[in-house]
Amino acid sequence: MNLAEIENRARKAITPLAPADAEASFFGSRSDAGRSLPPYYLVYFLLVKLLGFKDLGHFEKIAFSIPVKIEDTVLMVEHRKFGLGIFIKDDADETAAEEVAKRIRAGVKAAEPYFEALADAAAKGSALNVENNARALLERFAYFADRYKQKSVEADARKDEQIKTELEASDGVSRAFTVTFPSHILRREARWYATAAIEAFYSWTEHLFILVAILRGKIKTGEDVANTAGSEWREKFKLALDIDDPATKQFYDRLTALRNQVRNFVAHGAFGKNGQAMQFHSDVGAVPLLMPHRQNKNHFQFGNGVDFVPPEAMLLIFDFVSHMWAGNLSPAKIYIDAGLPLILSYAFEGRYAEAMASDEEMEIFTDYVGRMVDDAANMDW
């Protein structure tokens, strides 16, 4: 990246916009033009970091203030609690604000390679936050699991019920009828919900295991996160949990089998990876390509493809979740349930590791991080 070339191109794009003398007491009103500005961080990187404009610093409810001028009009580009804006002293400056917004948009476009370089460099270090989406993913799993339970309970309650429907003949006299069994329909729907719940469980844990690994100090940089995110589910499991523990190892084996037999099959359009949806021609007719002796290679068997046993699979998942949070990972649950981002610099510095020592330590630490996040959001400096 030729930084000087990018800077020259960006400076040319913003001309005639220029820095103004510092005005720490600029009490202007928000212009309409400022609503069309790019994201606040791009504006800050462009004006302050790349082009050297002066940032007056934090004020109450203000994250940054950059005095600018265009021709002879002085304006303020500020990121306040209610968003980034261009602030003017009177309505007559609205036209100037429109030109400022136009020049900033052009400058941001010209500086795109600089922004990309900033992000690429940051990704290799620990000065990063990792979003915590565990709650939303868990709620999705819980929704489908709850619907599965409801359908299963209703199916059991109606297992002896039959619905007879008479068929009307052309002469108006009924001579036949059909019989339906509501429990069969309900169990089929329960299986659908179970399949969706299993999919949601693996989606949740794919994300959760990375968060837990950060809290355990196994992941400390953006590169670590990127590499782990692209790895297999079982590798994420091993980073988050200790499979040297016999009980955890058994859950690992059984959940891996369930993933292979149900989740992967569904994810590949009900074809699977091993010919589950194919049959070959023989003297005795069509025969499954995946024969029984190959289907049962795994010690933990839940069936193949969509032919699985929902109660056993769902019980396994709920038992695993209880097991996971019952041991030394209970402090991780406190932090993750709080919905706070994972701050990689804290993992690198060992602050998460210290907080993971006990539930009490994590409660204190979570409160501290929560207050810090709230203060930043409210711009309470």
pLDDT of 86 above 60:
yes
Output the pLDDT for position 302.
44
- Measuring CA to CA, which residue among 353, 337, 336 is closest to residue 345? 353
Across the chain, mean pLDDT equals 87
3-state helix, strand, coil in the chain (%, to 5): 55, 15, 30
- Measuring CA to CA, which residue among 297, 304, 273, 278 is closest to residue 289? 278
- Measuring CA to CA, which residue among 17, 42, 155, 24 is closest to residue 97? 17
pLDDT of 191 above 80:
yes
Mean pLDDT of 92-106: 95
Output the pLDDT for position 307.
53
pLDDT cut 70: percent of the chain above it: 86
Output the pLDDT for position 301.
44
How many angstroms separate the CA atoms of 353 and 348, rounded? 9
Output the pLDDT for position 381.
58
How many angstroms separate the CA atoms of 220 and 345, rounded? 7
* E strand spans, 172-284: 176-180, 279-282
How many angstroms separate the CA atoms of 48 and 70, rounded? 17
pLDDT band at residue 267 using 50, 70 and 90 as cut-offs: low
Burial 201-240 (b: 16+ CB within 10 A, else e): bbbbbbbbbbbbbbbbbbbbbbebbeebeeeebeebbbbb
Which carries the bigger pLDDT value, residue 321 or residue 306?
Answer: 321
**Burial tier of 59 (Cβ tally within 10 Å: 0-12, 13-18, 19+):** middle
Q: pLDDT digit string (tens) for 136-186?
A: 999 999 999 999 999 999 999 998 888 888 777 666 665 677 788 899 999
Mean pLDDT of 192-219: 95
How many angstroms separate the CA atoms of 51 and 186, rounded? 65
pLDDT of 288 above 60:
yes
pLDDT band at residue 304 using 50, 70 and 90 as cut-offs: very low
pLDDT of 370 above 50:
yes
pLDDT of 276 above 70:
no
- Measuring CA to CA, which residue among 365, 358, 353 is closest to residue 215? 353
Q: pLDDT digit string (tens) for 31-50?
A: 999 999 999 999 999 999 99
Q: pTM higher than 0.85, yes or no?
A: no
* Least confident window among 88-97, 147-156, 258-267: 258-267
